[in-house]
């Protein structure tokens, strides 16, 4: 059932390229000696099972797979209310406009982003930044800060129990007047339920008999 639904979403036109990339990075197994990305292992090893599971469990609340459009000069915001001591993970990805190719060379460090989006998560006492790597020191572990190189940004931290605000804006002026981006969010929320699809090939998403509170369990009579 998981594979069937994943195939339906992937090949039925439900997921954009930036969504698939963000989803793969968001759910990847950690690889390498240090948390986060590195130049040897990238974002890690692809975890198809968790990626597919997240597609099924997406609820638009604390498990989000969405596409948005950021107009020039605009800031996108989202409130997060994670349980204290639990992991918060947010990933954005966008298909950037074509840049100007650099001359042939080994490992060029030229900045190539055309539309540079920026993501931050904060509350009254803390602010979290995305992972960054330094090409001048490729063996160093990833740190966090202002990512001005990549069309992917990922933030991970352990919640302190206070509400947080996710904000996404941009540097300079956005070419073409704006930039679409894909957003993946996962965190634990007080009183939230995970629902499992038990409807097989039945596509009646609003039928409470097609959802369960446990994998392959009894109908939840909830949507």
Structure confidence by residue, pLDDT tens digits, 162-209: 899 999 999 999 999 999 999 999 999 876 667 788 888 877 878 888
Pairing of the two strands 164-170 and 76-80 = antiparallel
Name the band, by pLDDT with cuts 50, 70 and 90, for residue 94.
Answer: very high
Those residues whose C-beta lies under 8 Å from the C-beta of residue 130, and which sit 6 or more positions away, are 119, 144, 145, 147, 153, 154, 155
Specify the pTM: 0.82
What's the average model confidence in pLDDT over 93-113? 92
What is the dihedral angle through the alpha carbons of 60, 88, 181, 104, rounded to the nearest 10 degrees? -160
Pairing mode, if any, of strands 143-144 and 196-197? unpaired
What spatial distance separates the first Cα and last Cα of the chain, rounded to whole Å?
18
> What confidence score (pLDDT) does residue 75 get?
98
Q: Are 95 and 18 in contact (CB under 8 A)?
A: yes
Predicted confidence band at 9 (pLDDT cuts at 50, 70, 90)?
Answer: low
Residue 4, pLDDT > 70, answer: no
């Amino acid at each position: 059932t998981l594979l069937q639904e994943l195939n339906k979403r992937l090949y039925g036109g439900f997921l954009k390229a930036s969504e698939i990339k963000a989803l793969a990075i968001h759910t990847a197994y950690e690889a390498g000696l240090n948390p986060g990305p590195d130049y040897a292992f990238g974002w890690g090893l692809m975890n198809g099972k968790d990626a597919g599971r997240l597609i099924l469990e997406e609820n638009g609340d604390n498990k989000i797979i969405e596409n948005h459009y950021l107009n020039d000069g605009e800031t996108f915001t989202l409130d997060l209310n994670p349980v204290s001591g639990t992991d918060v993970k947010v990933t954005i990805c966008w298909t950037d406009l074509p840049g100007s190719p650099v001359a042939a060379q080994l490992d060029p460090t030229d900045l190539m982003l055309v539309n540079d989006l920026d993501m931050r998560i904060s509350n009254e006492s803390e602010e979290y930044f995305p992972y960054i790597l330094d090409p001048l020191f490729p063996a160093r572990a990833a740190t966090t800060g202002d990512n001005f190189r990549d069309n992917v940004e990922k933030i991970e931290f352990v919640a302190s129990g206070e509400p947080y605000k996710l904000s996404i804006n941009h540097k300079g002026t956005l070419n073409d007047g704006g930039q679409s981006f894909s957003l993946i969010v996962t965190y634990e929320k007080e009183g939230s339920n995970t629902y499992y699809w038990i409807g097989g090939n039945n596509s009646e998403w609003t039928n409470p008999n097609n959802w369960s509170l446990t994998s392959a369990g009894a109908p939840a009579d909830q949507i």
